[in-house]
Every structure is written in C-alpha cells, then in structure tokens.
Amino acid sequence: MTDKMTQKSHEDMSKEINKDGVAVRTRGYHIWRVIFCIIGVLGMLMFIYPVFRGCHVNIGTLLGTGVFALLTLYGVFRAKIDKSVRKLWDKKAGKICLSFVLALVTAALALVVVITYHMVYAAHVKPKQDATVVVLGCAVRGGGPSLMLRERLIAAQDYLEENPEAVCVVSGGQGADESMSEAQCMYEYLTEHGIAPERIYMEDKSTSTRENIKFSAEIIRQNGLPDKMNIVTNEFHEYRAKRIADKQGIETGSIAGSTAWWLLPTYYVREMAGILYEWISG
C-alpha cells in the first residue's frame, strides 16, 4: 500500500514537472515565483508610500511602480509567460523581436548605471573656495519647509556655520499651493537657526532648476559676490544642477543634503528621467 502511494506521489510530481513539456515546475521554480512576487509588491509599496505621506505623484512614482508591477505580474504568471516566450523564440520573427527587447533592456540598464555614476560623482565634488552658496528651492508645506527642503537647509546651515565668511543666495519662487516663496521660507529658516540676515540674499522668481541658477547668477553679479557657486541641493540633484550651471559658464562645487530613505527611490528615478531629458535637449 505504501509503495503504491509513493509511486503515485512520484507520478503526480512528474506530471507537474512535465506539464508544459519541459521540467519547469520544480520546487526551486516555485520559490523564485514567490521571490519575484515579494520583491515586486515591496517595490510598488516603496514607490507608492511617499504619496501617502503627502508627496505628489510624479514620473518617478509612475516608472518605479510600473517596473515592480511588471515584476509582480511575471511572478504570478511566470509559467504562462515562459511558455509563450519559448514558443515565440522558436519562430524567426519572434526571435528577432525578443532579441530587440533584450537589447533595449540591456541598454536601459547600462544607462541607469552611467547616470547613477554621474549622480554619485557630482554629489561628492568638494565645495569651491571663495564661492557663493546657492540653495536651490523645493516645496513649502504648511508655512514651513518640506522635508526635502529642510534637508537642503540643514546642509546649507552646517556649511555657513563652518565658513563664517561665506554668503548665500536662497533661490525659489512661490508655487500655486505654497503660502510663501521658497526663498522667503529658506530665509526665515536660516535666520531662525542663527545665520546672520546680511549673509543671505533672496531670489524669489524662479520656477525651475534652470531659473534657480540663472536668476541667482544675476543676483551674484548685481551684488558683486563671488561668481563661483557652491550648489546646495539633495545628493541626487547635484549632477543636473551642475550641468545646467556649466552651460551658463559657472564654476560649481557641491554641498549635498541627505535624502530620507523613503523619498530617495522616487526622486532618484524622477531625476534620472530629468537627466536623460537634459542630455537629449543638449
């Protein structure tokens, strides 16, 4: 009786393994399906979580969530997807299409590595001597700086305290959903934290990183300040800000603020899209 049950068990296992004609349904195969699903779900939550903390949905949110959603779907439907891919690979046209898709994925991964290298390198460029500190604006929330803006202000405050001869320009206009200009918010924060008002110049008209740099440079020229810039922004944003400044002939250093772990993935992906656009637009 026991031998018959054991034999039946082996036969059922064999049928499961050979259901699609190949041995794909092993225990390890099922484990990887679960792993893909877990990683996919956790990844989606990682990109959706900032939205529940009050952040706006942006291209980083959509791209990150989309990628991990696809990974989750692959985990759920892996057997069917693998079977379809094998059938497609057996056809000449299908092989060409799959090769093209693989090439695109490889190129995209290579691009991610290259962009990440530039972002990390730019964030670690040392501040210039005899330079004006320029703090790039970010959202104002409820009459005060948002978390990301506060991270920039903490970095600026630390540098200004360590370099008492340095002056700064706080740069950022007022959005439709903001109670004051970003420049005014930054001015109030820095002065409340011990930075002398006469060391701070306000630029409150800009609405983009490009305008931050351009309008701050005008204030620097008008007031006879050092024409080099030490740009204060979050670490992921330093490279694009530096590239924009380079196009305007401005020599820059970096004062990078740290980004909260739960914000970094969304804004890292968003920034990669911004850098790619910057490269394409020249």
DSSP class of residue 262 equals: T
Distance CA 112, CA 26 (A): 34
DSSP string, 86-115: HHHHTSHHHHHHHHHHHHHHHHHHHHHHHH
Distance CA 40, CA 70 (A): 8
pLDDT number for residue 71: 98
Distance CA 20, CA 88 (A): 15
pTM for this predicted structure: 0.87
pLDDT number for residue 13: 42
pLDDT in tens, the chain (282 residues): 445 444 444 444 434 444 444 444 678 888 999 999 999 999 999 999 999 998 999 999 999 999 999 999 999 999 999 999 999 999 999 999 999 999 999 999 999 999 999 999 999 999 999 999 999 999 999 899 999 999 999 999 999 999 999 999 999 999 999 999 999 999 999 999 999 999 999 999 999 999 999 999 999 999 999 999 999 999 999 999 999 999 999 999 999 999 999 999 999 999 999 999 999 987
pLDDT number for residue 282: 74
Under 8 Å between Cβ of 39 and 71:
yes
pLDDT number for residue 211: 98
Per-residue CA distances from 34 to 12, 81, 86, 252 (Å): 22, 15, 21, 48
Distance CA 180, CA 82 (A): 55
pLDDT number for residue 25: 62
Query: Nearest to residue 124, comparing CAs of 248, 238, 245, 28?
Result: 238
Query: Nearest to residue 257, comparing CAs of 246, 241, 273, 243?
Result: 241
Residue 205 three-state SS: coil
DSSP class of residue 263 equals: T
